[in-house]
Chain A
Amino acid sequence: MENDNLIVRVQETVAEALLVPASQVAPDLAFGGIKEWDSMGHMGVMMLLEERFGISIDAEIIAALTSIPAICEYIQKTGKE
Protein backbone atom coordinates (compact mmCIF):
# COMPACT_ATOMS: atom_id res chain seq x y z
CA MET A 1 0.00 0.00 0.00
CA GLU A 2 2.83 2.38 0.97
CA ASN A 3 4.56 1.52 -2.26
CA ASP A 4 1.41 2.31 -4.25
CA ASN A 5 1.22 5.61 -2.48
CA LEU A 6 4.81 6.42 -3.41
CA ILE A 7 4.22 5.55 -7.07
CA VAL A 8 1.21 7.88 -7.17
CA ARG A 9 3.16 10.72 -5.55
CA VAL A 10 6.03 10.25 -7.98
CA GLN A 11 3.59 10.18 -10.90
CA GLU A 12 2.03 13.42 -9.67
CA THR A 13 5.44 15.04 -9.24
CA VAL A 14 6.59 13.97 -12.69
CA ALA A 15 3.35 15.27 -14.21
CA GLU A 16 3.75 18.60 -12.44
CA ALA A 17 7.36 18.96 -13.57
CA LEU A 18 6.50 18.12 -17.16
CA LEU A 19 3.37 20.27 -17.15
CA VAL A 20 1.14 17.42 -18.33
CA PRO A 21 -2.04 15.91 -16.81
CA ALA A 22 -1.32 13.11 -14.31
CA SER A 23 -3.32 10.78 -16.54
CA GLN A 24 -0.49 10.94 -19.10
CA VAL A 25 2.06 9.65 -16.60
CA ALA A 26 1.68 5.87 -16.43
CA PRO A 27 3.27 3.96 -13.51
CA ASP A 28 5.90 2.57 -15.87
CA LEU A 29 6.53 5.75 -17.88
CA ALA A 30 10.17 6.35 -18.82
CA PHE A 31 12.30 9.14 -20.26
CA GLY A 32 11.24 9.76 -23.87
CA GLY A 33 7.92 7.98 -23.31
CA ILE A 34 6.09 11.25 -23.85
CA LYS A 35 7.52 14.19 -25.75
CA GLU A 36 7.55 16.41 -22.66
CA TRP A 37 10.00 14.05 -20.90
CA ASP A 38 13.01 15.23 -22.90
CA SER A 39 16.34 16.52 -21.61
CA MET A 40 14.94 19.78 -20.22
CA GLY A 41 11.91 17.94 -18.86
CA HIS A 42 14.12 15.36 -17.21
CA MET A 43 16.11 17.96 -15.33
CA GLY A 44 12.87 19.64 -14.27
CA VAL A 45 11.73 16.27 -12.89
CA MET A 46 15.00 15.86 -10.99
CA MET A 47 14.75 19.32 -9.43
CA LEU A 48 11.13 18.90 -8.37
CA LEU A 49 11.83 15.44 -6.92
CA GLU A 50 14.56 16.98 -4.75
CA GLU A 51 12.14 19.60 -3.52
CA ARG A 52 9.10 17.38 -2.96
CA PHE A 53 10.84 14.35 -1.44
CA GLY A 54 13.67 16.13 0.38
CA ILE A 55 16.24 14.02 -1.40
CA SER A 56 19.55 14.97 -2.96
CA ILE A 57 20.16 13.82 -6.51
CA ASP A 58 23.73 14.22 -7.66
CA ALA A 59 25.02 14.09 -11.21
CA GLU A 60 26.07 10.46 -10.80
CA ILE A 61 22.48 9.33 -10.41
CA ILE A 62 20.60 11.61 -12.82
CA ALA A 63 21.19 9.29 -15.75
CA ALA A 64 19.83 6.31 -13.82
CA LEU A 65 16.54 7.88 -12.75
CA THR A 66 14.90 7.63 -16.14
CA SER A 67 11.63 5.90 -15.25
CA ILE A 68 8.94 6.03 -12.59
CA PRO A 69 9.99 2.61 -11.15
CA ALA A 70 13.68 3.67 -11.02
CA ILE A 71 12.75 6.90 -9.25
CA CYS A 72 10.57 5.07 -6.71
CA GLU A 73 13.34 2.58 -6.03
CA TYR A 74 15.85 5.37 -5.46
CA ILE A 75 13.55 7.25 -3.09
CA GLN A 76 12.94 4.08 -1.09
CA LYS A 77 16.67 3.33 -0.95
CA THR A 78 17.56 6.79 0.31
CA GLY A 79 15.24 6.13 3.23
CA LYS A 80 13.07 9.17 2.75
CA GLU A 81 9.93 7.08 2.33
Chain B
Amino acid sequence: MSSQLHITPKVTIPDFLVGEVQSKLAYVDENIVGARIASTGDRITLDLREQAEGPKRSELEEKVHRVVTSMVQGAFKPKVQILEDYLDRPVPSSVDPNAELLVRGEMFQEAVGIFTLGPLVTRLISFFERQFIGLADSFGAAPYRFPTLIPAKSLERVGYFRAFPQSLSFVMHLREDLDAIDNFAQHAACDEHALNTPADSFARIQALLSPAVCYHLYFALADKPLPGGKMAATAVGNCFRYESVNLASLERLWNFTMREVIFVGPKDFVLQNRETGRERMRGFFEEIGLAYRVESANDPFFIGEFKKQAAFQSAFQLKFEIRAGLPFKQSTLAVGSYNYHQDFFGRSLNITLPDGSPAHTGCIAFGLERMAFAFLSQYGLDDANWPDSVRQYVLVGLL
Protein backbone atom coordinates (compact mmCIF):
# COMPACT_ATOMS: atom_id res chain seq x y z
CA MET B 1 0.00 0.00 0.00
CA SER B 2 1.45 3.38 -0.99
CA SER B 3 2.18 5.91 1.70
CA GLN B 4 4.03 9.09 2.51
CA LEU B 5 6.96 9.61 4.84
CA HIS B 6 7.91 13.03 6.21
CA ILE B 7 11.48 13.58 7.31
CA THR B 8 13.06 16.60 8.97
CA PRO B 9 16.64 16.81 7.69
CA LYS B 10 19.39 17.21 10.29
CA VAL B 11 20.70 20.22 8.39
CA THR B 12 18.53 22.74 6.57
CA ILE B 13 18.89 22.43 2.82
CA PRO B 14 19.80 25.82 1.31
CA ASP B 15 17.63 27.03 -1.57
CA PHE B 16 20.42 26.63 -4.12
CA LEU B 17 20.58 22.90 -3.32
CA VAL B 18 16.88 22.02 -3.01
CA GLY B 19 16.53 20.86 -6.64
CA GLU B 20 19.82 18.94 -6.63
CA VAL B 21 19.10 17.08 -3.40
CA GLN B 22 15.52 16.37 -4.45
CA SER B 23 16.63 14.74 -7.70
CA LYS B 24 19.15 12.55 -5.83
CA LEU B 25 16.54 11.27 -3.36
CA ALA B 26 15.11 9.17 -6.20
CA TYR B 27 18.18 6.93 -5.91
CA VAL B 28 18.03 6.42 -2.16
CA ASP B 29 15.71 3.42 -2.10
CA GLU B 30 13.64 1.41 -4.56
CA ASN B 31 10.59 2.04 -2.37
CA ILE B 32 10.65 5.76 -3.25
CA VAL B 33 8.42 6.81 -6.15
CA GLY B 34 8.53 10.55 -5.54
CA ALA B 35 10.35 13.09 -3.41
CA ARG B 36 9.71 16.72 -2.59
CA ILE B 37 11.59 19.19 -0.44
CA ALA B 38 9.85 22.22 1.06
CA SER B 39 11.22 25.49 -0.31
CA THR B 40 12.32 26.29 3.24
CA GLY B 41 14.63 23.26 3.07
CA ASP B 42 13.53 21.85 6.41
CA ARG B 43 11.02 19.19 5.39
CA ILE B 44 11.27 16.23 3.02
CA THR B 45 8.24 14.31 1.81
CA LEU B 46 8.74 10.91 0.25
CA ASP B 47 6.07 9.05 -1.72
CA LEU B 48 6.56 5.34 -1.08
CA ARG B 49 5.38 2.26 -2.99
CA GLU B 50 4.59 0.58 0.29
CA GLN B 51 4.56 1.67 3.87
CA ALA B 52 7.93 1.60 5.66
CA GLU B 53 7.83 0.77 9.35
CA GLY B 54 10.32 -0.30 12.01
CA PRO B 55 13.83 -1.12 10.78
CA LYS B 56 12.90 -0.43 7.14
CA ARG B 57 11.80 3.07 8.04
CA SER B 58 14.93 3.70 10.13
CA GLU B 59 17.12 2.49 7.31
CA LEU B 60 15.34 4.73 4.82
CA GLU B 61 15.61 7.76 7.08
CA GLU B 62 19.30 7.08 7.69
CA LYS B 63 19.98 6.96 3.95
CA VAL B 64 18.09 10.21 3.39
CA HIS B 65 20.07 11.92 6.17
CA ARG B 66 23.29 10.59 4.64
CA VAL B 67 22.45 12.08 1.24
CA VAL B 68 21.43 15.44 2.68
CA THR B 69 24.40 15.77 5.00
CA SER B 70 26.85 14.73 2.32
CA MET B 71 25.54 17.25 -0.19
CA VAL B 72 24.82 20.15 2.15
CA GLN B 73 27.56 20.28 4.78
CA GLY B 74 30.41 22.47 3.59
CA ALA B 75 28.74 23.12 0.23
CA PHE B 76 29.94 26.18 -1.66
CA LYS B 77 27.16 28.45 -2.85
CA PRO B 78 27.50 28.55 -6.63
CA LYS B 79 28.26 31.74 -8.45
CA VAL B 80 25.26 32.16 -10.74
CA GLN B 81 26.15 34.02 -13.88
CA ILE B 82 23.56 34.97 -16.48
CA LEU B 83 25.03 35.60 -19.92
CA GLU B 84 21.78 36.15 -21.83
CA ASP B 85 18.27 36.72 -20.54
CA TYR B 86 15.38 36.68 -23.00
CA LEU B 87 12.97 34.76 -20.81
CA ASP B 88 10.43 37.59 -20.93
CA ARG B 89 10.22 37.41 -24.72
CA PRO B 90 6.46 37.14 -25.50
CA VAL B 91 5.41 33.74 -26.89
CA PRO B 92 1.93 32.74 -28.09
CA SER B 93 1.27 29.64 -25.99
CA SER B 94 1.17 28.75 -22.34
CA VAL B 95 -0.52 25.38 -22.79
CA ASP B 96 1.09 22.09 -21.78
CA PRO B 97 1.69 20.37 -25.15
CA ASN B 98 1.88 16.83 -23.72
CA ALA B 99 -1.83 15.98 -23.95
CA GLU B 100 -2.18 17.17 -27.54
CA LEU B 101 1.03 15.45 -28.59
CA LEU B 102 -0.37 12.18 -27.27
CA VAL B 103 -3.82 12.65 -28.81
CA ARG B 104 -2.38 13.53 -32.22
CA GLY B 105 -0.05 10.54 -32.19
CA GLU B 106 2.99 12.82 -32.21
CA MET B 107 4.31 11.24 -29.04
CA PHE B 108 3.92 7.62 -27.99
CA GLN B 109 5.33 6.33 -24.73
CA GLU B 110 6.82 2.85 -25.14
CA ALA B 111 7.96 2.77 -21.52
CA VAL B 112 9.03 5.23 -18.86
CA GLY B 113 11.56 7.57 -20.44
CA ILE B 114 11.26 5.90 -23.86
CA PHE B 115 9.22 7.70 -26.52
CA THR B 116 8.47 7.33 -30.20
CA LEU B 117 7.90 10.63 -31.98
CA GLY B 118 5.52 11.35 -34.85
CA PRO B 119 6.06 13.17 -38.15
CA LEU B 120 5.45 16.73 -36.96
CA VAL B 121 7.87 16.50 -34.05
CA THR B 122 10.35 14.63 -36.23
CA ARG B 123 10.27 17.40 -38.83
CA LEU B 124 10.58 20.00 -36.11
CA ILE B 125 13.66 18.23 -34.76
CA SER B 126 15.00 18.08 -38.30
CA PHE B 127 14.55 21.87 -38.54
CA PHE B 128 16.62 22.41 -35.40
CA GLU B 129 19.17 19.88 -36.58
CA ARG B 130 19.68 21.89 -39.76
CA GLN B 131 20.42 24.97 -37.68
CA PHE B 132 22.87 23.13 -35.46
CA ILE B 133 24.62 21.56 -38.45
CA GLY B 134 24.83 25.07 -39.87
CA LEU B 135 26.55 26.17 -36.67
CA ALA B 136 28.99 23.26 -36.98
CA ASP B 137 29.69 24.16 -40.61
CA SER B 138 30.48 27.75 -39.61
CA PHE B 139 33.44 26.32 -37.68
CA GLY B 140 34.40 23.94 -40.47
CA ALA B 141 33.61 21.09 -38.07
CA ALA B 142 34.36 17.65 -39.49
CA PRO B 143 31.39 15.25 -39.37
CA TYR B 144 31.68 12.06 -37.32
CA ARG B 145 29.44 9.07 -36.59
CA PHE B 146 29.81 7.52 -33.19
CA PRO B 147 28.48 4.20 -31.87
CA THR B 148 25.63 3.95 -29.42
CA LEU B 149 27.65 1.59 -27.23
CA ILE B 150 30.62 2.78 -25.25
CA PRO B 151 33.25 0.49 -23.71
CA ALA B 152 33.24 0.24 -19.93
CA LYS B 153 37.01 0.61 -19.83
CA SER B 154 36.80 3.95 -21.67
CA LEU B 155 34.25 5.40 -19.25
CA GLU B 156 36.36 4.19 -16.36
CA ARG B 157 39.36 6.04 -17.74
CA VAL B 158 37.55 9.40 -17.50
CA GLY B 159 36.14 8.75 -14.03
CA TYR B 160 32.55 8.46 -15.21
CA PHE B 161 31.62 5.64 -12.83
CA ARG B 162 32.58 7.76 -9.84
CA ALA B 163 30.94 10.95 -11.09
CA PHE B 164 27.61 9.70 -12.50
CA PRO B 165 26.96 6.10 -11.34
CA GLN B 166 23.25 6.77 -10.87
CA SER B 167 22.58 7.43 -14.55
CA LEU B 168 24.50 4.54 -16.16
CA SER B 169 22.74 2.17 -18.57
CA PHE B 170 24.46 -1.17 -19.01
CA VAL B 171 24.51 -3.39 -22.07
CA MET B 172 24.35 -7.09 -21.35
CA HIS B 173 24.36 -10.23 -23.41
CA LEU B 174 23.94 -13.87 -22.54
CA ARG B 175 26.94 -15.93 -21.59
CA GLU B 176 28.37 -18.02 -24.39
CA ASP B 177 27.09 -21.19 -22.77
CA LEU B 178 24.57 -23.48 -24.39
CA ASP B 179 22.88 -24.38 -21.10
CA ALA B 180 22.58 -20.74 -20.06
CA ILE B 181 21.14 -19.77 -23.43
CA ASP B 182 18.70 -22.68 -23.43
CA ASN B 183 17.68 -21.92 -19.87
CA PHE B 184 17.10 -18.28 -20.76
CA ALA B 185 15.07 -19.15 -23.85
CA GLN B 186 12.82 -21.43 -21.84
CA HIS B 187 12.32 -19.32 -18.73
CA ALA B 188 12.74 -15.64 -19.61
CA ALA B 189 9.45 -13.79 -19.22
CA CYS B 190 8.37 -10.26 -18.57
CA ASP B 191 6.23 -9.19 -15.66
CA GLU B 192 4.64 -5.76 -15.42
CA HIS B 193 7.95 -3.99 -14.95
CA ALA B 194 10.85 -6.00 -16.23
CA LEU B 195 12.33 -9.09 -17.78
CA ASN B 196 12.73 -11.90 -15.27
CA THR B 197 15.64 -14.12 -16.12
CA PRO B 198 17.72 -16.79 -14.43
CA ALA B 199 20.28 -14.94 -12.33
CA ASP B 200 23.34 -16.47 -14.00
CA SER B 201 22.24 -15.75 -17.57
CA PHE B 202 24.46 -12.81 -18.34
CA ALA B 203 28.08 -12.37 -19.26
CA ARG B 204 30.22 -9.73 -17.54
CA ILE B 205 29.58 -6.18 -18.66
CA GLN B 206 31.86 -4.89 -21.39
CA ALA B 207 29.86 -1.97 -22.72
CA LEU B 208 27.31 0.62 -21.72
CA LEU B 209 24.89 2.81 -23.61
CA SER B 210 26.65 6.06 -24.35
CA PRO B 211 25.80 8.93 -21.98
CA ALA B 212 27.29 11.64 -24.21
CA VAL B 213 28.46 12.24 -27.75
CA CYS B 214 31.80 14.02 -27.44
CA TYR B 215 33.44 11.30 -25.31
CA HIS B 216 33.74 9.09 -28.39
CA LEU B 217 35.87 11.71 -30.15
CA TYR B 218 38.17 12.05 -27.15
CA PHE B 219 38.61 8.28 -26.98
CA ALA B 220 39.46 8.22 -30.69
CA LEU B 221 42.12 10.89 -30.10
CA ALA B 222 43.60 9.25 -26.99
CA ASP B 223 47.27 8.45 -26.49
CA LYS B 224 48.63 10.41 -29.40
CA PRO B 225 49.45 13.95 -30.47
CA LEU B 226 46.44 15.90 -31.75
CA PRO B 227 46.79 16.12 -35.56
CA GLY B 228 47.25 19.75 -36.55
CA GLY B 229 47.15 20.85 -32.92
CA LYS B 230 43.45 21.77 -32.98
CA MET B 231 40.20 20.52 -34.44
CA ALA B 232 36.46 21.08 -34.62
CA ALA B 233 34.11 18.14 -35.09
CA THR B 234 30.39 17.47 -34.99
CA ALA B 235 28.14 14.47 -34.51
CA VAL B 236 24.64 13.54 -33.50
CA GLY B 237 23.97 10.53 -31.37
CA ASN B 238 21.69 8.66 -29.05
CA CYS B 239 22.46 9.31 -25.40
CA PHE B 240 21.22 7.43 -22.35
CA ARG B 241 20.89 8.71 -18.82
CA TYR B 242 18.73 6.77 -16.40
CA GLU B 243 16.94 9.22 -14.12
CA SER B 244 14.61 6.97 -12.15
CA VAL B 245 11.40 8.67 -11.02
CA ASN B 246 12.71 11.96 -12.40
CA LEU B 247 12.08 10.73 -15.95
CA ALA B 248 9.22 12.77 -17.38
CA SER B 249 7.77 13.20 -20.84
CA LEU B 250 10.11 14.69 -23.46
CA GLU B 251 11.59 16.89 -20.75
CA ARG B 252 13.64 14.11 -19.23
CA LEU B 253 14.12 11.04 -21.39
CA TRP B 254 16.13 7.92 -20.68
CA ASN B 255 17.01 7.70 -24.38
CA PHE B 256 17.48 11.05 -26.10
CA THR B 257 19.39 12.58 -29.00
CA MET B 258 22.16 15.14 -28.82
CA ARG B 259 23.90 17.15 -31.52
CA GLU B 260 27.30 18.34 -30.43
CA VAL B 261 29.89 20.67 -31.91
CA ILE B 262 33.20 19.70 -30.33
CA PHE B 263 36.46 21.62 -30.04
CA VAL B 264 39.85 20.18 -29.16
CA GLY B 265 43.05 22.23 -29.01
CA PRO B 266 44.71 24.99 -26.99
CA LYS B 267 42.71 26.72 -24.25
CA ASP B 268 42.14 29.94 -26.19
CA PHE B 269 40.95 28.06 -29.28
CA VAL B 270 38.35 26.15 -27.28
CA LEU B 271 37.13 29.10 -25.23
CA GLN B 272 36.96 31.47 -28.20
CA ASN B 273 34.94 28.99 -30.24
CA ARG B 274 32.59 28.29 -27.36
CA GLU B 275 31.95 32.03 -27.11
CA THR B 276 31.60 32.49 -30.88
CA GLY B 277 29.13 29.59 -30.96
CA ARG B 278 27.07 31.23 -28.24
CA GLU B 279 26.92 34.50 -30.16
CA ARG B 280 25.83 32.70 -33.35
CA MET B 281 23.12 30.78 -31.51
CA ARG B 282 21.83 34.00 -29.98
CA GLY B 283 21.03 35.20 -33.51
CA PHE B 284 19.12 32.01 -34.30
CA PHE B 285 17.12 32.04 -31.07
CA GLU B 286 16.20 35.67 -31.75
CA GLU B 287 15.07 34.77 -35.27
CA ILE B 288 12.63 32.14 -34.00
CA GLY B 289 11.61 34.24 -30.99
CA LEU B 290 12.58 31.67 -28.37
CA ALA B 291 12.19 32.76 -24.75
CA TYR B 292 15.31 31.56 -22.96
CA ARG B 293 18.18 32.36 -20.69
CA VAL B 294 21.84 31.31 -20.71
CA GLU B 295 23.14 30.76 -17.19
CA SER B 296 25.93 29.00 -15.38
CA ALA B 297 25.20 25.44 -14.34
CA ASN B 298 26.74 22.22 -13.17
CA ASP B 299 26.42 18.60 -14.20
CA PRO B 300 24.33 16.27 -12.02
CA PHE B 301 27.25 14.64 -10.20
CA PHE B 302 26.30 11.91 -7.77
CA ILE B 303 26.28 12.49 -4.06
CA GLY B 304 29.90 11.67 -3.23
CA GLU B 305 31.37 13.95 -5.89
CA PHE B 306 28.62 16.52 -6.14
CA LYS B 307 29.85 19.07 -3.62
CA LYS B 308 33.33 19.44 -5.02
CA GLN B 309 32.72 18.95 -8.73
CA ALA B 310 29.67 21.21 -8.92
CA ALA B 311 31.47 23.99 -7.05
CA PHE B 312 34.49 23.61 -9.30
CA GLN B 313 32.38 23.86 -12.47
CA SER B 314 30.67 26.91 -11.11
CA ALA B 315 33.82 28.65 -9.94
CA PHE B 316 35.65 28.13 -13.23
CA GLN B 317 32.59 28.89 -15.40
CA LEU B 318 32.87 25.59 -17.19
CA LYS B 319 29.22 25.07 -18.05
CA PHE B 320 26.48 27.39 -19.23
CA GLU B 321 23.02 26.05 -20.00
CA ILE B 322 20.53 27.35 -22.55
CA ARG B 323 17.34 27.22 -20.49
CA ALA B 324 14.18 27.68 -22.53
CA GLY B 325 11.01 28.84 -20.84
CA LEU B 326 8.15 26.41 -20.27
CA PRO B 327 5.29 28.87 -19.83
CA PHE B 328 2.73 26.20 -18.87
CA LYS B 329 4.62 25.39 -15.70
CA GLN B 330 6.43 28.70 -15.25
CA SER B 331 9.79 27.04 -15.25
CA THR B 332 12.69 26.46 -17.60
CA LEU B 333 14.23 23.47 -19.34
CA ALA B 334 17.88 23.03 -20.36
CA VAL B 335 17.81 22.55 -24.13
CA GLY B 336 21.52 22.94 -24.70
CA SER B 337 24.81 23.86 -23.10
CA TYR B 338 28.15 25.51 -23.74
CA ASN B 339 30.84 23.45 -22.06
CA TYR B 340 34.56 23.76 -21.35
CA HIS B 341 36.36 20.80 -19.77
CA GLN B 342 39.74 22.51 -19.33
CA ASP B 343 42.43 19.89 -19.98
CA PHE B 344 40.56 17.13 -18.11
CA PHE B 345 40.14 14.86 -21.14
CA GLY B 346 43.54 15.84 -22.52
CA ARG B 347 45.21 14.72 -19.30
CA SER B 348 43.00 11.70 -18.62
CA LEU B 349 43.35 10.36 -22.16
CA ASN B 350 46.80 11.65 -23.01
CA ILE B 351 45.77 13.84 -25.96
CA THR B 352 48.71 16.15 -26.53
CA LEU B 353 49.29 19.44 -28.31
CA PRO B 354 52.42 20.06 -30.42
CA ASP B 355 54.24 21.51 -27.38
CA GLY B 356 53.55 18.31 -25.43
CA SER B 357 50.95 19.84 -23.11
CA PRO B 358 47.53 18.24 -22.72
CA ALA B 359 44.80 19.39 -25.11
CA HIS B 360 41.84 21.39 -23.86
CA THR B 361 38.33 20.40 -24.91
CA GLY B 362 34.87 21.90 -25.05
CA CYS B 363 31.56 21.32 -26.73
CA ILE B 364 28.28 22.95 -27.61
CA ALA B 365 25.49 20.46 -27.11
CA PHE B 366 21.80 20.51 -27.99
CA GLY B 367 19.13 18.11 -26.76
CA LEU B 368 16.97 17.68 -29.83
CA GLU B 369 13.80 16.32 -28.19
CA ARG B 370 13.97 18.97 -25.50
CA MET B 371 14.49 21.69 -28.09
CA ALA B 372 11.32 20.58 -29.92
CA PHE B 373 9.39 20.25 -26.66
CA ALA B 374 10.38 23.74 -25.50
CA PHE B 375 9.42 25.20 -28.86
CA LEU B 376 5.99 23.50 -28.74
CA SER B 377 5.53 24.68 -25.16
CA GLN B 378 6.06 28.26 -26.29
CA TYR B 379 4.32 28.14 -29.68
CA GLY B 380 1.79 25.33 -29.36
CA LEU B 381 0.94 22.78 -32.04
CA ASP B 382 -1.07 25.20 -34.16
CA ASP B 383 1.42 26.10 -36.87
CA ALA B 384 -0.44 29.34 -37.63
CA ASN B 385 1.36 30.80 -34.63
CA TRP B 386 4.79 29.56 -35.59
CA PRO B 387 7.61 31.75 -36.94
CA ASP B 388 7.71 31.66 -40.77
CA SER B 389 11.07 29.92 -41.02
CA VAL B 390 9.92 27.05 -38.81
CA ARG B 391 6.53 26.70 -40.48
CA GLN B 392 7.99 26.70 -43.98
CA TYR B 393 10.51 24.01 -43.18
CA VAL B 394 8.25 21.77 -41.17
CA LEU B 395 5.17 22.02 -43.36
CA VAL B 396 6.58 22.63 -46.82
CA GLY B 397 10.10 21.30 -46.48
CA LEU B 398 11.73 24.62 -47.31
CA LEU B 399 14.61 26.20 -45.47
Residues on A facing B (Cβ under 8 Å): 32, 35, 38-40, 42-44, 46-47, 50, 57-60, 62-63
Contact = CB atoms under 8 A, between A and B. Distances in A.
A60 B79 contact: yes
Contacts of B344: 38-39
B78 interface: yes
Contacts of A35: 347
B210 interface: no
A34 B22 CA distance: 36
Contacts of A40: 305, 308-309, 312
Contacts of B123: none
A63 B313 CA distance: 10
A43 B316 contact: no
Interface of B: 74, 76-79, 305, 307-309, 311-317, 342-344, 347
A39 B77 contact: no
Nearest to B313: A39
A39 B79 contact: no
B309 A39 contact: yes
B108 to A, nearest CB: 41
14 contacts: A38-B344, A39-B309, A39-B313, A40-B308, A46-B76, A59-B77, A59-B311, A59-B315, A60-B79, A60-B315, A62-B311, A62-B312, A62-B316, A63-B317
Give chain A's interface secondary structure class: helix
B309 A63 contact: no
A32 B343 contact: yes
B358 to A, nearest CB: 9
Contact of B309 (A43, A46, A57, A60): A43
Contacts of B311: 43, 46, 59, 62
Nearest to B80: A59
A63 B315 contact: yes
Nearest to A35: B347
A63 B74 contact: no
Given A32-B343, A43-B311, A47-B74, A63 B305 contact: no
A38 B309 CA distance: 10
A8 B240 CA distance: 47
Given A39-B309, A47-B74, 15 more contacts: A35-B347, A40-B305, A40-B309, A43-B76, A43-B311, A43-B312, A44-B308, A46-B76, A47-B308, A59-B76, A59-B77, A59-B311, A62-B312, A62-B315, A63-B315
Contacts of A39: 308-309, 312-313, 342, 344
Contacts of A44: 308
A57 B79 CA distance: 12
A60 B80 CA distance: 10
Nearest to B311: A43
Nearest to A47: B74
A58 B348 CA distance: 28
A58 B76 contact: yes
A23 to B, nearest CB: 22
Contacts of B342: 39
Which 9 pairs across A and B sit closest by C-beta, in order of nearness?
A43-B308, A62-B315, A59-B79, A39-B312, A63-B315, A63-B316, A59-B76, A59-B315, A43-B312
A62 to B, nearest CB: 4
A40 B313 CA distance: 10
Contact of B78 (A38, A43, A57, A59): A59
Contact of B312 (A32, A42, A57): A42
Contacts of A60: 79, 315
- From A32, A43, A44, A47, residue with most partner B Cβ within 10 Å: A43
A4 to B, nearest CB: 29
Nearest to A59: B79
Contacts of A47: 74, 308
Nearest to A62: B315
B357 to A, nearest CB: 10
Nearest to B162: A40
B37 to A, nearest CB: 22
Given A32-B343, A43-B309, A59 B314 contact: yes
A47 B305 CA distance: 14
